[in-house]
Structure 1
Amino acid sequence: MVQSVHRAVQILRELASGGPRLGVTELAERLGVAKPTVHALLRTLEIEGLVGQDRDSSKYQLGPNLVPLGNAYLDTHELRTRSLTWADALANRSGEAVWVGVLTGDHVLVVHHAFRPEGAVQILEVGASIPWNTCALGKAIAASSCADVRERLLAGEPAVLTGASMTDRKALAGHLEDVLKAGYATEDQESAIGEAGIASPVFDRSGEVAGAIGIVGPVERLLGESARQELAVAVRETARNLSRDLGAPSATRRVRPTGSRAS
């Protein structure tokens, strides 16, 4: 690992999560690095347009050249590009917003968001990062992932976003078994009060989990007794079609890969 590159990445992450602006001293304390080192890294990042310095406060913030880098990632992400048509179709079929997500560490990154066909003003959630255990997308991915990935996720400290967030590891492991059998996962107000989700895993040409696709919306619309099963069928079918589009084996896996074991 190249230490200077690692520290530069740490600076970008701190600026992304620590507030709109941070000073050299604050960053040095967070990274445990000398102020001159942090200042030199910031100057280099500023020259490249990856950070910018506020003239009034002299503090630093993320720079404009990160935008094309992020867009390039999305534009070249195969799951996202293949999901555009399927996500729109699912949104029209369900009447709800559709998210497509991929696992990054212990969070799910939303790489595509198809708006609900009708309704109030909606906020684009592309780029949102959600703890895996608090969303249907994350649980769908974890349930169908290989043993190493699943056990790594379960070994971590479960995030708590609401009082409904699942935090018991044993209960989570059992829940993932149920998700695997059903072919879809649900979220019941675990990341936001009043909101729910239904998601299914998507597989790539190697048969591994590429991510997940699912619907999000008010809990009473998604998880009501009359709607839940119909919506789950729509989500599973869409995930199956998207997997096929990615070149996944014709028989989408409903069991874990050879050599994995149940938690």
Structure 2
Amino acid sequence: MPGPIQSLERAAAILRLLAGGERRLGLSDVAASLGLAKATAHGILRTLQQEGFVEQDPDSGKYQLGAELLRLGQSYLDVHELRARALIWADDLARATGESVYLGVLHQRGVLIVHHVFRPDDARQVLDVGGMQPLHSTALGKVLVAHDPVARAELQASEREAFTPRTLTDLDAIDAESALTRERGWGAAVEETWTGLASVAALIQDRRQNPVGAVAVHGPVERICEAGAIRPELAIAVRQAARSISRDLGAPRF
């Protein structure tokens, strides 16, 4: 039986090293920690960087884990498990708010809707499971962009259509809103994709605290907003639902 491939073992050791400790290390630190020649360590790091598994800070020259690892980590969590864990909490959220609830995950430069709970009234509604929403102009997308480096990279590489006069398309403006989303723990979109509609969403994490999806409440502006701003009770309800789903997935409290 063939033995292990040394170069792969060394690459795995480098990834483990970057995953612990200070998480950002220089070439000399990596080589010394693993007992490798600098040339060997540099060659492996350069290959990992080309594949997206490692990133190099342009100012310090130090290395850290790359966004591609996060993409692979997300595949560890089956979307069906995410949906199964979210069913009860999504139903409860729809009943508590009286609005539609969506569960979305990052997929092909957009947000794939994997679960949709109708608002609890007798109005005719269309099931959106399997549909796609934009990253830059929906609450689900904004939450993923704010917390997921892969989503941010996908956004940068995609065309950002202005669906309404309120749609943000400038990357600097989107990054500023992402910082606000991380600070307050929820994201919002008011008439940025559909005139007359608004949504508020919060992040779902797995047991490794990776961003794996988002849950959102969606409805008419006059019911989602008050005096032009998201109603605080809706933002609180969405955050609580996201935390409950995350805990069911094994995430620590956050």
**Under TM normalisation by the shorter chain, which class is it?**
0.5 to 0.7
State the Cα distance separating 1:204 from its structure 2 match: 0.8
Pairs within 5 Å for 1:9-88: 77-88=80-91
The answer to whether the Cα contact below 8 Å between 1:139 and 1:176 also exists between their aligned partners in 2 is yes
* Counterpart in the other structure of 1:228: 231
Q: Deviations over 1:85-114 (max 9, x none)?
A: 010000000010100000102100110001
Deviation of 1:158 after TM superposition, in Å, equals 1.4
Provide the secondary structure at the position in 1 that maps to 2:214: strand
The 3-state SS of whatever aligns with 1:134 is: coil
Partner secondary structure for residue 189 of structure 2: strand
Contact 1:154 1:173 (8 Å CA) reproduced:
no
Kept in 2, the 8 Å contact 1:106–1:132? The answer is yes
For the Cα contact (< 8 Å) 1:137–1:213, is it kept in 2?
yes
The answer to whether 1:110 aligns with 2:98 is no
TM-score (normalised: structure 2): 0.66
Task: Tell me, yes or no, if the aligned pair for 1:185 and 1:198 is still in contact at 8 Å.
Answer: yes
> Unaligned 5+ residue runs, structure 1?
1-74, 253-263
**Does residue 1:160 correspond to 2:162, yes or no?**
yes
User: Equivalents in 2 of 1:222, 1:193: separation in Å?
Assistant: 13
Contact 1:221 1:227 in 2 (8 A): no
Any idea what SS the aligned residue of 2:231 has? helix
Q: What amino acid is the match of 1:216?
A: H
Query: What percent of counterpart residues are identical?
Result: 43
Deviations 1:114-147 (A, max 9, x none): 110114111111111011111000101111113x
| CA separation of 1:156 and 1:143: change in aligned 2, threshold 3 A | same
Report the secondary structure of 1:142's partner residue.
Answer: helix
Counterpart in the other structure of 1:129: 132
Task: Tell me the residue number matched to 2:186.
Answer: 184
Contact residue 200 and residue 213 of structure 1 kept, 8 A: yes
Cα RMSD for the two superposed structures:
1.7
5+ long unaligned stretches in structure 2: 1-77
Of 233, 244, 248, the match for 2:247: 244
Query: TM-score, normalization: structure 1?
Result: 0.63
- The 1-side partners of 2:119 and 2:184 are apart by 25
> 2:175 aligns to what?
173
Give, in whole Å, the separation in 1 of the partners of 2:193 and 2:92.
25
Measure, in 2, the Cα distance between the counterparts of 1:149 and 1:232.
22
Shift of 1:157: 2.5
State the 1:173 CA deviation: 0.6
- The 1-side partners of 2:213 and 2:122 are apart by 27
Secondary structure of the 1:109 match is strand
Q: How many residues align?
A: 176
